[in-house]
């Protein structure tokens, strides 16, 4: 019989995808109000590997990635996805989203995104939300899977996520040194 342990807390990472850069400050403010302080410098990515969102959001889309200070329980991901969906709705105009917010979490061994879309590799986590295993960390790097979105395979993105992972590992060590804080 295997021994059961509480899963490690995770580092919350959120990507915001949009065409209108003027929205980033108000969206970032709402995300901080909802999820707490940003942990490290955010990263802009001025690339878009898909045209999927263009009919709804326009062209020349970009993504901003942000990690947050507070650790989260892995089971919180479905609640977080519902909260980010509500923020998307706040910024929508005429029934169309102007921002797409992708919450996920970082662990030592993997990066997971939340989605409302079922697929063969996605695991249901409750409240109509699925966990998408996006990247696996092995041999000092993040490795894509056959279904990993192209933007999450880019060297710029994986370099950023390696930095987030390093900070996450540091935070875990710090928490163990100060269990009463």
Sequence spans of domains, the chain: 10-175
pLDDT for the residue numbered 179? 57
113-171 pLDDT, tens digit each: 999 999 999 999 999 999 999 999 999 999 999 999 988 999 999 999 999 999 999 99
C-alpha dist (Å) from residue 63 to 13, 50, 56, 66, 117: 13, 12, 16, 10, 20
Read off the pLDDT band of 111 (50, 70, 90).
very high
Locate tokens 């102007």: which residue?
A: 98
pLDDT for the residue numbered 39? 84
Q: How far apart are CA 80 and CA 69, in angstroms?
A: 15
19-77 pLDDT, tens digit each: 898 999 999 999 999 999 988 667 767 666 677 788 888 888 888 899 999 999 999 99
E strand or H helix at 140, and its extent? none
Q: Domain 10-175 falls in which CATH fold?
A: Alpha-Beta Plaits (3.30.70)
Query: What are the structure tokens assigned to 35, written together?
Result: 């999820």
pLDDT for the residue numbered 11? 97
Q: Is the pLDDT of residue 101 over 60?
A: yes
Name the percent of the chain in helix, strand, coil, to the closest 5: 35, 35, 35
Q: How far apart are CA 124 and CA 86, in angstroms?
A: 20
pTM of the model: 0.92
């Amino acid at each position: 019989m295997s021994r059961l342990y509480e899963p490690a807390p995770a580092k919350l990472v959120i990507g915001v995808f949009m065409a209108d850069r003027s929205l980033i400050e108000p969206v970032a403010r709402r995300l901080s109000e909802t999820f707490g302080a940003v942990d490290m410098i955010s990263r802009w990515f001025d690339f878009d590997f898909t045209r999927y969102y263009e009919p709804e959001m326009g062209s020349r889309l970009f993504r901003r990635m942000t990690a947050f200070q507070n650790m989260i329980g892995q089971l919180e991901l479905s609640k977080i996805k519902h909260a980010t969906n509500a923020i998307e709705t706040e910024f929508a105009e005429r029934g169309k989203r102007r921002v797409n917010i992708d919450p996920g979490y970082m662990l030592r061994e993997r990066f997971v995104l939340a989605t409302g879309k079922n697929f063969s590799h996605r695991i249901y986590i409750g409240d109509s939300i699925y966990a998408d295993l996006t990247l696996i960390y092995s041999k000092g790097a993040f490795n894509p899977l056959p279904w990993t979105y192209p933007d999450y395979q880019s060297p710029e993105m994986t370099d950023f996520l390696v930095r987030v992972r390093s900070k996450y590992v540091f935070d875990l060590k710090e928490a163990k040194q100060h269990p009463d804080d």
